[in-house]
């Protein structure tokens, strides 16, 4: 649809440009011919620019305060099922679903052959989809507040577990040492994450589907995502799954890559350090 | 150059030729018309090959910013997307990152590609360890129509065979030309062989995006520039073609966060990166 209107607009401008150029042959006045010639040149540039900038033409006519608003709507809407995001534009209604690919392997622990194999397998996952697919690896800053709270809960749990183990008369040394080790591990983890900013890496895939309405697009996208998740799981030997709800936002929102609370904490720390 | 670009270029420049042929119509303004016509051709060619140079200059000069969606704006420099959330500015910038070395290279020495592939996971992890800011590496791929692609390759091979036979029939065949044609034929044959073994030909776009945060737009933009420079250095270990993306392409990349198109709409993007 957009491509057709782009071509139509190009034909209109290119046609007008050629008409102006031809008219320069018919008018007798050299000044009038020159002005027509200049108009033909301007129209020629405008005609060519439709190839890349057609989407800006109509919004540019409604420009306010030197700002061209291509769209003032939200960039996407979360589908009622929570398994995809919906976008609508001049090309139709699209739904996109995301597949989380949990990979916990490290290249440093692999032999050369294993590294070669994983690189080959990874390139194979690009072929699991018959339509367009996006594979992304995202390094993001972990929302520390939530993480710290989680670690604290784990620490509390392990401490109460240690207490109950110590209170039990018949507990063996091995069980006690294990419980103590667990408490030490969570303690160390808590100290470490409080000292520096924590980052995490996540890999995901994205697929989109076009539909007559939001429900149809969302359902097709989800179905396609399920197929892709199965394909990826089989190739890499992992459990890839279709992300939903809040998890999707982690892949598309920049403020989820750098959480507000963490940034505020970092800015505060920096200010305190500079103050000292 | 693709067929669409040829049509656009041809019809846009046609009017310029008409004007240059009828220069006598402009009388004393003839010389001025020559200069303006040549400038127009120059502008059209720059728009075709490097519009990312012109577009940001125009928006910067006119001070025009572009709102892509609610809360997401491309400032007049057209080098980043800025989102304002809870009193903080999140600036996102893009780098192209073409993995030439890790894709099919027919002229590569046997074993060289395997070595590069085996070393890639460790290099990637080193990048992750050294980057202390958020970023994303994205690959968008779309399978080509195998039948059409194969027919295209066979057609090109047939044309090269014709050229080869024409060259060999000459009285004094040029060995350099024949070698060049043979090399091109080998490349095409290698591609055909790979399809025969079941490999799927793919279109692909690769790019890196990073987000920086600041208490003002300027602070976020400065932090983003630093991050992009660091990423360029870090990704140099993977031997990638890394270039900062500016201009209208950032609008497209922003949209690719939310939707992936099919068919001609996506094909245009693949063509433009190739």
CA distances from A12 to A2, A17, A36, B167 (A): 15, 9, 17, 46
d(CA A217, CA A130): 17
Residue A71 lies in a domain: no
Number of domains in chain B: 3
Picking from A229, A231, A213, the residue whose alpha carbon sits closest to that of residue A98 is A229
Is residue B65 within 8 angstroms of chain A, CB to CB? yes
User: Of B48, B64, B80, which residue sits at a domain end?
Assistant: B64
Boundaries of domain holding B184: 146-196
Least Cα distance to B97 among B209, B10, B183, B194 occurs for B209
Chain B residues touching residue A135 (CB < 8 angstroms): 138-139, 141
As a whole number of angstroms, the longest Cα–Cα distance in chain B is 78
Domain boundary among B42, B64, B86: B64
- Strand (E) or helix (H) holding B62: helix B30-62
Interface test with B, best of A104, A257, A265 (most B CBs within 10 A): A257
- Using alpha carbons only, how large is chain A's radius of gyration in Å? 30
Which residue does chain A place closest to B202, by CA atoms?
A127
Q: What is the tens place of the pLDDT at every residue in A158-182?
A: 999 989 988 887 777 888 888 899 9
Q: What is the pLDDT of residue B103?
A: 47
Neighbours of B240 (CB within 10 A): 21
Q: Considering A195, A228, A258, which residue would you say is the last residue of a domain?
A: A195
> If you search the block for the tokens 């924590």, which residue do you land on?
A198
Nearest to A7 by CA among B175, B268, B71: B268
pLDDT digits (tens, 9 = 90+) for B142-162: 888 888 888 888 999 999 999
Measured between beta carbons, the chain A residues lying within 8 angstroms of B70 are 71-75
B98 alpha-carbon distance from chain centroid: 9
Q: Give the closest residue to A62 by CA, choosing from B97, B64, B100.
A: B64
Residues B128 and B206 in one domain: yes
Q: Do A24 and B256 touch (CB under 8 A)?
A: no
Q: Which residues contact A158 (CB under 8 A, 6 or more apart)?
A: A179, A182, A183, A185, A186
The pLDDT, as a whole number, for residue B115 is: 72
- Looking at residue A110, what is its pLDDT? 76
In angstroms, the CA A18 to CA A43 distance is 9
Say whether both A259 and A164 belong to one domain: no
**pLDDT score at B109:** 41
**For A96, which of B32, B47, B258 is closest by C-beta distance?**
B258
Whether B209 and B230 share a structural domain: yes
Where residue A115 falls among pLDDT bands split at 50, 70, 90?
A: confident
Same domain assignment for residues B155 and B257: no
**Does residue A124 contact residue A148 with C-beta atoms inside 8 Å?**
no
Q: Do A72 and B213 touch (CB under 8 A)?
A: no
Q: Are residues B72 and B139 in the same domain?
A: yes
Q: SS3 of B90, please? A: strand
Disruptive mutation site among B23, B259, B272 for chain A (greatest number of A CBs within 10 Å) = B259
* Residues A104, A87 share a domain: yes
Average pLDDT of chain B to the nearest whole number: 84
Using a CB-CB cut-off of 8 Å, the residues of chain A touching B259 are: 87, 89, 94, 96, 208
Instruction: Label residue A60 exposed, middle or buried (CB < 10 Å: 0-12, 13-18, 19+).
Output: middle
Range of the domain at A157: 144-195
How far off is chain A from B154, nearest CA to CA, in Å? 23
The number of distinct structural domains making up chain A is 3
How far is Cα B40 from Cα A37, in angstroms, rounded to an integer? 11
Name the percent of chain A lying above pLDDT 70.
92
Percent of chain A clearing pLDDT 90 (strictly above): 39
| DSSP state letters, chain A | -HHHHHHHHHHHHHHHHHHHHHHHHH---HHHHHHHHHHHHHHHHHHHHHHHHHHHHHHHHT-BTTEEES--S-S-EE-TTSSEEEEEETTEEEEEEEEEE-----GGGS-HHHHHHHHHHHHHGGGS-SS-EEEEEEEEE--HHHHHHHHHHHHHHHHHHHHHHHHSTT--HHHHHHHHHHHHHHHHHHHHHHHS--EEEEEEEEEEEEESSHHHHHHHHHHHHHHHHHHHHHHHTS--EE--THHHHHHH-HHHHS-HHHHHHHHHHHHHHHH-
C-beta atoms of A131 and B142 within 8 A: yes
Q: Do B151 and B250 reside in the same domain of the chain?
A: no
Relative to beta strand A199-211, strand A241-242 is unpaired
Which of A55, A70, A136 is nearest residue B136 as measured by Cβ atoms?
A136
Interface confidence, given as ipTM, is 0.80
* pLDDT value, residue B99: 62
Residues A137 and A159 in one domain: no
> B72 and B182 in one domain?
no
- All residues of chain B having their beta carbon less than 8 Å from the beta carbon of residue A30 are 25-29
Dist CA B269 CA B260 (whole Å): 11
Structure token digits, residue B168: 């060999």
Tell me: do A218 and A102 sit in the same domain: yes
A116–B114: do the CB atoms touch at under 8 Å? yes
Tell me phi and psi for residue B72, to 5 degrees: -120, 120
CA distance A196 to chain B (A): 11
CB A126 within 8 A of CB B141: yes
Tell me, yes or no, if B149 comes closer than 8 A to chain A by beta carbon: no
SS3 B193: helix
Same domain, B104 and B235: yes
Length of chain B: 274
Establish, for the pair of chains A and B, how many residue pairs have beta carbons separated by less than 8 Å.
Answer: 257
Averaged pLDDT score across all residues of chain A: 85
Q: What is the pTM of this model?
A: 0.79
Closest C-alpha among B123, B94, B97 to residue B241: B97
Contact A199 B122 (CB under 8 A): no
Judged by DSSP in three states, B63 sits in: coil
SS3 percent helix, strand, coil of chain B, rounded to 5, is 60, 20, 20
Q: How confident is the model at residue B1 (pLDDT cuts 50, 70, 90)?
A: low
Answer whether residue A1 shows pLDDT above 60: no
Same domain, B95 and B207: yes
Yes or no: say if B89 and B220 are a contact pair by the CB < 8 Å rule. Answer: yes
d(CA A252, CA A102): 18
DSSP designation for B200: P
Query: Of the candidates A133, A167, A195, which is a domain's last residue?
Result: A195
Task: State how far the Cα of B62 lies from the Cα of B99, in Å rounded to an integer.
Answer: 37
Most confidently modeled range among B22-26, B83-87, B195-199 = B83-87
Same domain, A187 and A113: no
Per-residue confidence (pLDDT) for residue B105, from 0 to 100: 43
Q: Are B83 and B114 in a shared domain?
A: yes
A171-218 per-position pLDDT tens digit? 778 888 888 999 999 988 877 776 667 788 899 999 999 988 899 999
Chain A residues within 8 A of B85 when measuring between CB atoms: 255, 260
- Which of A115-124, B211-220, B235-244 has the highest average model confidence (pLDDT)? B211-220
């Amino acid at each position: 649809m957009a491509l057709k209107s782009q071509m139509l607009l190009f034909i209109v401008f290119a046609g007008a440009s050629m008409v102006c150029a031809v008219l320069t042959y018919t008018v007798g006045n050299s000044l009038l011919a020159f002005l027509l010639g200049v108009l033909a040149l301007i129209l020629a540039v405008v005609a060519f620019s439709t190839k890349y900038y057609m989407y800006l033409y109509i919004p540019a006519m409604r420009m306010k305060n030197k700002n061209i608003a291509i769209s003032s709507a939200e960039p996407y809407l979360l589908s009622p099922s929570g398994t995809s995001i919906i976008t609508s534009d001049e090309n139709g209604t699209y739904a996109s679903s995301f597949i989380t690919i949990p990979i916990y392997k490290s290249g440093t622990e692999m032999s050369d052959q294993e590294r070669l194999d994983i690189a080959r397998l990874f390139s194979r996952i690009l072929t699991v989809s018959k339509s367009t697919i996006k594979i992304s690896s995202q390094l993001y800053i972990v929302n520390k507040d939530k993480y710290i709270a989680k670690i604290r809960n784990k620490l509390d749990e392990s401490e109460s577990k240690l207490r109950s183990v110590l209170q039990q008369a018949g507990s063996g040394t091995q069980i006690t040492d294990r419980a103590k080790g667990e408490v030490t591990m969570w303690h160390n983890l808590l100290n470490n994450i409080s000292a520096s900013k924590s980052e995490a890496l996540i890999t995901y895939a994205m697929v989109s589907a076009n539909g007559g309405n939001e429900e149809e697009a969302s359902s097709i996208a989800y179905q396609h995502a399920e197929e892709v998740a199965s394909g990826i799981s089989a190739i890499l030997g992992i459990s890839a799954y279709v992300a939903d709800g809040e998890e999707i936002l982690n892949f598309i929102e920049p403020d989820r890559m750098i959480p507000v609370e963490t940034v505020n904490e970092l800015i505060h720390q920096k200010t305190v350090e500079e103050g000292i | 150059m693709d067929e669409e670009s040829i049509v656009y270029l041809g019809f846009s420049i046609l009017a310029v030729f008409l004007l240059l042929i009828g220069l006598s119509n402009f009388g004393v303004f003839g010389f001025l018309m020559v200069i303006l016509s040549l400038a127009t051709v120059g502008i059209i060619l720059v728009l075709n090959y490097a519009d990312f140079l012109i577009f940001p200059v125009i928006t910067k000069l006119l001070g025009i910013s572009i709102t892509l969606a609610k809360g997401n704006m491309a400032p007049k420099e057209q080098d980043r997307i800025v989102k304002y959330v809870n009193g903080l500015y999140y600036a996102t910038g893009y780098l192209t990152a073409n993995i030439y070395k890790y894709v099919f290279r027919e002229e590569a020495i046997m074993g060289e590609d395997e070595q590069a592939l085996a070393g890639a996971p460790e290099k990637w992890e080193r990048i992750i360890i050294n980057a202390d800011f958020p970023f994303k590496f994205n690959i968008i791929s779309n399978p080509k129509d195998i039948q059409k692609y194969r027919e295209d390759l066979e057609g090109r091979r047939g044309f090269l065979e014709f050229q080869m036979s024409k060259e060999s029939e000459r009285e004094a065949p040029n060995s350099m030309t024949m070698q060049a044609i043979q090399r091109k034929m080998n490349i095409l044959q290698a591609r055909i062989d790979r399809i025969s073994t079941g490999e799927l030909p793919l279109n692909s776009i690769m790019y890196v995006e990073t987000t920086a945060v600041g208490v003002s737009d300027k602070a976020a933009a400065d932090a983003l520039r630093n991050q992009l420079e660091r990423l360029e250095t870090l990704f140099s270990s993977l031997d990638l073609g890394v270039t900062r993306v500016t201009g209208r392409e950032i609008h497209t990349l922003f949209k690719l966060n939310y939707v992936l198109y099919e068919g001609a709409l996506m094909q245009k993007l693949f063509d433009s990166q190739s």
